[in-house]
Structure 1
């Protein structure tokens, strides 16, 4: 690694899409500012790029004025695509073509939060490890089943970098700064932002089942894990009980005591939540979603969906598309 004093600044771009998540963006750009400030040198420069127009509005209403638009002749070592909302709806051919052109020219391309979806649609994640915010994983898996999708905080694989977003963007950027300028500077920046426990890219995005549900019973946790793994082909609750090492009656009692519901109701709820995610973020037909979430018929799926969400699958899809 060259001495930072001898290195030329690295030029980063941030392609922000409408309703981009401000947390993901700020967590990525602030470490660059800190690197310059703490060393007293311009190690990084950055600029904002818009697909259209000159102003990009974040999901919380904050506006960022773009320095450039896609296709402009700008010097870049890396481009970070930051997207939120429903990235599956992003289908702008000029942007996708520009991303492919940058990658061909050797520019590192990165996706943050939903930005990984846009890279996938541009064909830039084929043959690379990648990650994305857990909310978008089901849709990405359905549309791009051959991708090597990890449920990690971030992935750095050759010229592709992907990140789950949120504060994981800080972890990702610190890893890149460490690669450029060594662990001492990365540690100093980490302390600057009160990040006292470094997180590896391989870390999990979500809480464990124990943390998420606030339970510690091992047999119940095993049952919950089985349910989350078997959504397309649901297991009978009696089989889940057997695998968890309890009787069906004991399983009922565990769910009642710890989660205040029944195994059947909990299993149905997580399948319907998955269905809602696919409905809002993929073009899959309602019948295909029903099958993917373990329902024997579209009519059964629609009735259960309406009971849980107070609207039909088609109404929900129409509302999500209108909002997007």
Structure 2
């Protein structure tokens, strides 16, 4: 006898990322179509409004409300925008209840932030969209954060979003129904280059900055990994095997900025992510991003982005 279809709950948080959501649900639809029978069912669930809008303005009717009884085999929380601001107590309590029952629960794009907020990711490896990663690291020190495109740790599944759910769903379909069907589903979406879970979320430093010098890429990686306690020019130069003069020449020729100017930009961009995605006090953000005081941080921020940190947060 054919196994009963698996029911997947999709909890859509207002402002959810439509591409991430589609990359979860469309492989389920294609699996049913290509298998010629119903392997999966899905239910749209809301934390509040009966119709939930995506960040692009598209809307999805959600007949089930978080907290209501629904027989599920999986639950995926799909979020975008600013998931750190999500505080619905009913939904967070419901997630904890489902976790206690052993349900497989996943988060996509900003969804893992909400799982962490519910307290069900402590002691688990998880990933999240790179935009939210600094805020998650600050707010939830008990989670083990990685920069993979997706990760499965026991009964928790977290995914960085974008097109990464296509890779995650390939793995889940292969697990339940075999690699042949999973391959056919991926071919259906012309997704022929299946990425392993540990793949990088972002392009390499060379690609992101448009540089092809391994030494400069190494310097940029060091700088991005030390925003709170900025490395001195001499230390960065030593680690990549250059003199400070050679390091200065690389930055001037390849990026058109000095080492200090580029480092300040990196630190300010990290601060902007924290302002937008967390409730960390501005003074703590200033110190955590290597500024000597809140006033020093505020001046540098306004000079770069045209608004004060307080205005950015609003």
TM-score (normalised: structure 1): 0.95
Q: Structure 1 residue 304 and structure 2 residue 294: aligned?
A: no
Structure 1 gap ranges (5+): 319-324
CA distance in 1, matches of 2:298, 2:169: 43
- Compute the displacement of 1:302 (Å): 1.0
Partner of 2:287 in structure 1? 291
- What is the CA deviation profile of residues 60-95 of structure 1, one whole-angstrom value per residue up to 9, with x for unaligned ones? 000101121112221111110000000000011000
- Compute the displacement of 1:196 (Å): 1.3
Partner of 1:250 in structure 2? 246
Structure 2 gap ranges (5+): none
Q: Structure 1 residue 143 and structure 2 residue 173: aligned?
A: no
Q: Structure 1 residue 57 and structure 2 residue 75: aligned?
A: no
SS of structure 1 residue aligned to 2:279: coil
- What is the CA deviation profile of residues 212-236 of structure 1, one whole-angstrom value per residue up to 9, with x for unaligned ones? 1121212211211111111110011
SS of structure 1 residue aligned to 2:132: helix
CA distance in 2, matches of 1:16, 1:259: 41
| Alignment match of 1:100 (pick from 96, 120, 126) | 96
| Alignment match of 2:128 (pick from 118, 129, 132) | 132
RMSD: 1.0
| Alignment match of 2:258 (pick from 257, 262, 266) | 262
CA distance in 1, matches of 2:99, 2:304: 44
CA distance in 2, matches of 1:53, 1:279: 27
SS of structure 2 residue aligned to 1:316: helix
| Alignment match of 1:276 (pick from 272, 276, 298) | 272
1:141-220 counterparts in 2 under 5 A?
Answer: 141-220=137-216
Partner of 1:232 in structure 2? 228
Partner of 2:66 in structure 1? 70
- What is the CA deviation profile of residues 72-121 of structure 1, one whole-angstrom value per residue up to 9, with x for unaligned ones? 22111111000000000001100001111112222211100000000001
Q: Structure 1 residue 35 and structure 2 residue 47: aligned?
A: no
SS of structure 2 residue aligned to 1:112: strand
CA distance in 2, matches of 1:243, 1:128: 33
CA distance in 2, matches of 1:211, 1:14: 35
Between Structure 1 and Structure 2, how many residues are aligned?
A: 314
CA distance in 1, matches of 2:84, 2:76: 17
> Which segment drifts farther, 77-86 or 241-250?
241-250
CA distance in 1, matches of 2:272, 2:175: 40
- What is the CA deviation profile of residues 229-257 of structure 1, one whole-angstrom value per residue up to 9, with x for unaligned ones? 11110011122122222222221211121
